């Protein structure tokens, strides 16, 4: 996205999974360009607001794809540090541990290493984004009735990757000089999911990064 000072470097442009592209020329592409232009102004609260006359589902879809791509790239830069040995469980600090289940292939939550969990998670998200019945990219194709609940689950799970990076891998982020990029991306994510008109994540889910959220968002009240 527009605010990434380090993405041009070959090291940090590595993505963990294939990037999800919004088709050029589509209405969603125009929405993405609008979002990027507003982000460029530096006002993140304005950037997350639903543009006048736009469909809420479509706006949530475009931003969800964009956050998937951002987190994908951020995690891609630290995969060397997130290993079976360094992270035998998927955690966000000592109090929070996540077990994986997707409700279809893995119904009962399983305990697994962070790299394995994040691989499951990002593959699952990618499958949702690629499903045209869930995330239609063609104009005029309606979003399904359960779209918002799927989007909320995706965003809830993407948050866990941010939480893991902040809690377990912040030192390499600093070494790679990506702290500003991570903070901006996360702040944008938080403003989006907490916007009163969307209310996309339950506050309890955000507990592992509550102090950071308060610190990052208090400057913009």
| Digit-coded pLDDT (tens) for 162-197 | 999 999 999 999 999 999 999 999 999 999 999 877
**Gap between the Cα atoms of 71 and 150, Å rounded:** 18
What's the pLDDT at 14? 62
Which of 8-12, 31-35, 44-48, 186-190 has the largest mean confidence? 186-190
Cβ neighbours, 10 Å, residue 203: 10
Cβ(58)–Cβ(31) under 8 Å? yes
Annotated ligand binding at 82? The verdict is yes
Annotated ligand binding at 164? The verdict is yes
For the chain, give the mean pLDDT.
Answer: 87
Lookup result for tokens 């994908």: 72
**Gap between the Cα atoms of 29 and 8, Å rounded:** 22
The pTM assigned to this predicted structure is: 0.88
Mean pLDDT, to the nearest integer, of 56-76? 94
To 10 degrees, the CA torsion angle through 166, 172, 14, 59?
Answer: 20
Domain 27-218 belongs to what topology?
Butyryl-CoA Dehydrogenase, subunit A; domain 3 (1.20.140)
**Gap between the Cα atoms of 181 and 186, Å rounded:** 8
**Gap between the Cα atoms of 220 and 45, Å rounded:** 8
What is the per-residue burial (b if ≥16 Cβ within 10 Å, else e) of 31-45?
bbeebeebbeeeebe
With cut-offs at 50, 70 and 90, classify the pLDDT of residue 10: very low
What's the pLDDT at 29? 83
**Gap between the Cα atoms of 57 and 221, Å rounded:** 26
What's the pLDDT at 4? 43
Per DSSP, the three-state class of 110 is: strand
**Gap between the Cα atoms of 85 and 115, Å rounded:** 10
Of residues 25 and 220, which shows the higher confidence score?
25
Annotated ligand binding at 181? The verdict is no
The secondary structure of residue 135, as a DSSP letter, is S
| Predicted confidence (pLDDT) at residue 103 exceeds the cutoff of 70 | yes
**Gap between the Cα atoms of 68 and 121, Å rounded:** 11
| Predicted confidence (pLDDT) at residue 12 exceeds the cutoff of 80 | no
What's the Rg (C-alpha) of the chain?
Answer: 17
Cβ neighbours, 10 Å, residue 46: 11
Pairing of the two strands 97-98 and 90-91? antiparallel
| Predicted confidence (pLDDT) at residue 160 exceeds the cutoff of 90 | yes
List pLDDT tens digits, range 115-135.
999 999 999 999 999 999 999
Mean pLDDT, to the nearest integer, of 32-57? 83
The secondary structure of residue 122, as a DSSP letter, is H
């Amino acid at each position: 996205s527009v605010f990434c000072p380090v993405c041009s470097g070959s090291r940090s442009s590595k993505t963990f999974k294939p990037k999800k592209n919004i088709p050029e020329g589509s209405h969603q592409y125009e929405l993405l360009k609008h979002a990027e232009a507003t982000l460029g102004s530096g006002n993140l609260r304005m950037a997350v607001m639903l543009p006048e006359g736009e469909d809420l589902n479509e706006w949530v879809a475009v931003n969800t794809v964009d956050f998937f791509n951002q987190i994908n790239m951020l995690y891609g830069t630290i995969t060397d540090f997130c290993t079976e040995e360094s992270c035998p469980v998927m955690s966000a600090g000592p109090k929070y541990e996540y077990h994986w289940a997707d409700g279809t292939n893995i119904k009962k939550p399983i305990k697994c290493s962070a790299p394995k969990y994040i691989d499951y998670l990002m593959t699952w998200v990618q499958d949702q984004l690629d499903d045209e019945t869930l995330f239609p990219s063609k104009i005029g194709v309606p979003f399904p009735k359960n779209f918002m609940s799927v989007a909320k689950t995706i965003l809830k799970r993407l948050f866990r990757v941010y939480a893991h990076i902040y809690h377990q891998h912040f030192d390499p982020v600093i070494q790679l000089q990506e702290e500003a990029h991570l903070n901006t991306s996360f702040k944008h994510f938080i403003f989006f999911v907490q916007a009163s008109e969307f209310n996309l994540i339950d506050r309890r889910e955000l507990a592992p990064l509550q102090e950071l959220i308060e610190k990052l968002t208090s400057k913009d009240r």
